[in-house]
Structure 1
């Protein structure tokens, strides 16, 4: 949770929280308590029992993290956490205790699970009280915050954070292209040019960004906010008609104003980092298992035209606009590189033979891209890569197209499994690819892989 403090004007600001915004102090306290309980409960089971107990501690911590119970928050309340904490801690610890001790009486497992819950709840009661007190009494534990918007809601956010320092926010900047007079009288510096919000966040050392209502159309805020994806800045959005919005576990609030937290799991969570490990593991195994298929297809491609290369290479755009050579088995008659790079859809009659149609229909031509994944050019799941010539065209005509390059491109993706390949709507592709990024989860990747395998087996492509 803690890194180098940001200094502005001689004032020591609150330490910046880690990119995934995990409250590591709370994680540490829970770990200590769970280890103590595990050691006491398994003291009569010897070394094996203690090791199983420690493994159970790790599993419980991971489960609580995935349930969002370690996410750093503005409003700290142990009672708000109680329902989720009870469900996840009791079920996880109870099941693990039963598995570790086959034949144990259910009453003993229930007592153990109840003890775990009560201990974790007590930790939160004490830790949250301490954290609120620390925020109230010392400005160095409040995060530098900016509010984006120039209306009355922005003013209310400023006033509420001032009257409630226990929220841990210190609004030091308002960004609005058309501020109302009330905002000018709120005593916070105002800057214009909302489109440059990323540079403002970096320049002012902003840790939290509150997006309120503005005269700027919401559609113009999407790209600037997406540019902040990799910054150590938490983004909260005040929903439209917020008076009718009910709080959920993933939301926060300032006074009575609900805040929707931008998830941004892609690039920001520890399980996103596991995605690369998963890619390398799966691709390595696949290359070994599919080596006979790769050799057979390579031989068939060579025999179809010995004068042409077996592997087709073409420049594509990857994450962040990086160029790389995508690899495919050659399925078409070679043409000059300039024509290949600028031809949107080749004529099947002129360039694609019987073998080419077969390996394209079955997606066998894509198998060499497993090497692209192993090399780090691509991921198994992500937006499909495109040629530089067309990327340049699409980025000028479709604003959201640039945003799809925030993550690694993939062998298959959310747009691809919905039929958005070849001569289909580029606007729809951008929408689907950005939907994937905003809603990324481990399960979403698994669903895409399963549906891709089904499409390949049916011979309809991914």
Structure 2
């Protein structure tokens, strides 16, 4: 990998560490704006209602505005851009606060107050964004260190726009492309090849923003490098293909006339992700207590009907980041040697399945001992299903994106599993479904998968 510019070969100096912006969720939050508007709303509520303690209402109000993405850090810092959404969410937030804290308030008065608050906050944002743009123009340190991935015409236009409009707050420090256009090289921003080393480039140069502008490299070649940046403290924007025909939505940003899709970053950046482990621990512990009679009955049934092996089947599986652990299940098949079990992909179940094992597999009750794996932290309640190390090694070398499914904890159930992708089914499809789950994770998606898992157990559609 080399770094070059129009003056010849050069290395980008390693920058000093900078204070990072706050990220409460999957997107950057403008903490200064949050605090500013929280104070303003508190003052407005105190003046309008003569309450001694208006802070709780103000906190709820601002939190509801936050659900509309109104505190996301923006490249295009313009109050007019967010005015329609600001007005709409101010009305909704006011009605919610009235219903919760003061239901006797007349609707007409609440509507007038909502428009009044929206007007004040609009003025606040006009002034605040003016200061932000001025600071970005005058102080390069206020701009985000930016890497542009791609060296074609779009990248060239972005470089030009960012030089002419520093108020967008982006400072290009490096272009990543193995075959950039001559004008990119002549621009003066250092150019490096090796998009496959994007994670290393981001870390080495303390990059805060990545803009994927594409070039001659096929789209598939960008997927793995971008996923490897999941846990890094940087924002990722993608210029849509045929962007001239793309309609700008509220979740997008722009550099002058070029729309940018803000990549919904790794679930591990969201505050609710950190609660996932606590939920796993509490729910799995309670579940173990609740199903303990079922576990006891199953253990006795296995011991009585088939004494050819242990009650609990233990096997090594691959977990998050390739970590190995022992997975526990009720034994449902007649035992074979560990060497055979670890590498036999599709054993003849009709010969090895026990009578009770057939029922346990059909109802997925054989998986219940994995609740102990969840308690231990080896697994999560929901996540990609764990596989044996022998096959993980094979699949990672033959199936695109298979290794990416190990970015999170494996699960007792998962998106691929509840869509029928278990047992002897397509590994490519499993990888696609598992990575879809990771990219789109939410509390509701986990709840949905758990509900569908119960449905599958009741219908007896297990493996």
TM-score, structure 2 as length reference = 0.91
In 1, Cα distance between equivalents of 2:298 and 2:57: 47
In 1, Cα distance between equivalents of 2:144 and 2:172: 8
In 2, Cα distance between equivalents of 1:189 and 1:176: 11
Deviations along 1:384-411, one digit per CA (max 9) or x if unpaired, are 1111100000000012101111111111
Whether the 8 Å contact between 2:306 and 2:354 is mirrored in structure 1 is: no
Whether the 8 Å contact between 1:184 and 1:190 is mirrored in structure 2 is: yes
Superposition deviation, residue 41 in structure 1: 4.7
Aligned CA-pair RMSD: 2.1
In 1, Cα distance between equivalents of 2:297 and 2:199: 50
Whether the 8 Å contact between 1:324 and 1:377 is mirrored in structure 2 is: yes
SS at match of 2:434: helix
Whether the 8 Å contact between 1:13 and 1:144 is mirrored in structure 2 is: no
Please name the residue that 1:440 is paired with: 441
Please name the residue that 1:70 is paired with: 71
Whether the 8 Å contact between 1:98 and 1:109 is mirrored in structure 2 is: no
Q: For residues 282-297 of structure 1, what are the structure 2 equivalents within 5 Å?
A: 282-297=283-298
SS at match of 2:187: coil
Q: For residues 374-385 of structure 1, what are the structure 2 equivalents within 5 Å?
A: 374-385=375-386
Please name the residue that 2:8 is paired with: none
Superposition deviation, residue 449 in structure 1: 1.8
Q: 1:374 to 1:84 in 2, by over 3 A?
A: farther
Q: For residues 420-435 of structure 1, what are the structure 2 equivalents within 5 Å?
A: 420-435=421-436
SS at match of 1:248: coil
* 2:148 corresponds to 1:144: no
Deviations along 1:56-90, one digit per CA (max 9) or x if unpaired, are 43433333333222221211111211222222232
Whether the 8 Å contact between 1:14 and 1:140 is mirrored in structure 2 is: no
Deviations along 1:148-184, one digit per CA (max 9) or x if unpaired, are 1111111111111111111111101011111111111
Please name the residue that 1:333 is paired with: 334
Please name the residue that 1:4 is paired with: none
Please name the residue that 2:110 is paired with: 109
Which segment is superposed worse, 111-120 or 86-95? 111-120
Whether the 8 Å contact between 2:308 and 2:335 is mirrored in structure 1 is: no
SS at match of 1:128: helix
Aligned with residue 36 of structure 1, among 39, 43, 52: 43
Whether the 8 Å contact between 1:14 and 1:143 is mirrored in structure 2 is: no
Deviations along 1:299-327, one digit per CA (max 9) or x if unpaired, are 22232335632222211111111111112
SS at match of 1:267: helix
Superposition deviation, residue 361 in structure 1: 0.8
Structure 1: any 5+ residue segments left out of the alignment?
Answer: 1-7
Whether the 8 Å contact between 1:146 and 1:172 is mirrored in structure 2 is: yes
Superposition deviation, residue 9 in structure 1: 4.8
Aligned with residue 25 of structure 1, among 22, 32, 52: 32
Deviations along 1:4-36, one digit per CA (max 9) or x if unpaired, are xxxx85976763334542211122222222333
Q: For residues 159-178 of structure 1, what are the structure 2 equivalents within 5 Å?
A: 159-178=160-179
Superposition deviation, residue 42 in structure 1: 4.9
In 2, Cα distance between equivalents of 1:291 and 1:41: 57
Residue correspondences, number: 449
SS at match of 1:130: helix
Instruction: Identify the structure with bigger relative contact order (alpha carbons < 8 Å, sequence gap 6+).
Output: 2
In 1, Cα distance between equivalents of 2:410 and 2:117: 43
SS at match of 1:91: helix
In 1, Cα distance between equivalents of 2:30 and 2:279: 26
Please name the residue that 1:353 is paired with: 354
* 2:130 corresponds to 1:129: yes
Please name the residue that 1:3 is paired with: none
SS at match of 2:332: coil
Q: 1:151 to 1:298 in 2, by over 3 A?
A: same
Q: 1:10 to 1:404 in 2, by over 3 A?
A: closer
Please name the residue that 1:16 is paired with: 20
In 1, Cα distance between equivalents of 2:273 and 2:89: 22
Please name the residue that 1:311 is paired with: 312
Whether the 8 Å contact between 2:15 and 2:206 is mirrored in structure 1 is: no
Q: 1:74 to 1:339 in 2, by over 3 A?
A: same
Q: For residues 443-458 of structure 1, what are the structure 2 equivalents within 5 Å?
A: 443-458=444-459
Superposition deviation, residue 450 in structure 1: 1.8
In 2, Cα distance between equivalents of 1:143 and 1:396: 37
Superposition deviation, residue 328 in structure 1: 1.3
In 1, Cα distance between equivalents of 2:402 and 2:15: 41
SS at match of 2:268: coil
In 2, Cα distance between equivalents of 1:153 and 1:68: 27
In 2, Cα distance between equivalents of 1:309 and 1:61: 57
SS at match of 1:252: strand
Which segment is superposed worse, 275-284 or 254-263? 275-284
In 1, Cα distance between equivalents of 2:236 and 2:187: 21
Q: 1:35 to 1:314 in 2, by over 3 A?
A: farther
Superposition deviation, residue 272 in structure 1: 2.1
Superposition deviation, residue 371 in structure 1: 1.9
Please name the residue that 1:369 is paired with: 370
SS at match of 1:315: strand
Superposition deviation, residue 456 in structure 1: 1.2
Q: 1:331 to 1:40 in 2, by over 3 A?
A: farther
Whether the 8 Å contact between 1:18 and 1:232 is mirrored in structure 2 is: no
